[in-house]
Amino acid sequence: MQTRKEKVRIQAIDEQGNPLSNATISIKQNKLRFPFGCAINKNILSNTAYQDWFTSRFGVTAFEDEMKWYSTEATRGQVDYSVPDAMMAFAKQHNIAVRGHNVIWDDPKYQSGWVNSLSPSDFRTAVQARVGSVMTRYRGRLIAWDVVNENMHFSFVESKLGQNASSVIYNSAGKTDGLTTLFLNEYDTIEKSGDGAASPAKYLQKLKEIQSFPGNANLRMGIGLESHFTVPNLPYMRASLDTLASANVPIWLTEVDVQGNPAQQVRDLRCKNYNLPSYRASSNCSGGVRLLSCRR
């Protein structure tokens, strides 16, 4: 396995700054330098075993469902952030960084009934309200936003608002919280070579499309790769990441899971990821005893 090492020079001194000879030094790593995370759900608020398991292992998180539109506005106009607010407070208490997941989900399966019933005009208004509501509430408190989730495989907002709908939403997101990185979160870009909808080349094309939309040139964009592996093809993954790195934006593995017995494969994934200088990796997995088992 590859490792990254640096030489460290340690000098023990007394209160006056004089070197101490024959000093015994003990070093304990209290925090991972490598950003490694795990998704959480609302059960963590009342389960101390869950809390202890999570806080002793991870420094980054995303909420499974609690920040999503169908959770915070199950009924039109009745917005409730009480649960994600409590989860944000828990994360802050334990110095856990939070990724915002997600603002809009482009998969038609994950829309509330009232959203499906809207006319295009009313849907546009509702989307604008959603972006302004959730992003204003958590502005400056997150390390990332998944803005229009999985909009290379799905096109719910585009079917309602036109081909440039996602680019328009990213534009609104940038105006609402322009200091937080806005991610294009997608699956099958590095997992398998046979999914033409989200290949590395198609991904870069979509990213360029969003960035080239009027007003989006200076957006703080990021590449989010869900990373739902059956058996990781590490050479293909490495080549795909090298291709994506040409965009010169942060790259995160956002929802890593590996089927079967994942321990060695996860170590290989972390090792490969850590040694690519152009990106950072975060594995956001669901709670429990399974190493990496995530929900999109």
Q: Which residues are catalytic?
A: 150, 255
Give SS3 for 18: coil
Place of tokens 């960035």: 211
Instruction: Give kind and range of the element (H or E) at residue 240.
Output: helix 234-244
Strand-pair partners of 144:
99, 181
The rounded distance, in Å, linking the Cα atoms of 221 and 199 is 18
The rounded distance, in Å, linking the Cα atoms of 206 and 184 is 9
The rounded distance, in Å, linking the Cα atoms of 121 and 54 is 43
Asked whether the beta carbons of 165 and 123 are under 8 A apart, the reply is: no
Place of tokens 């998180």: 61
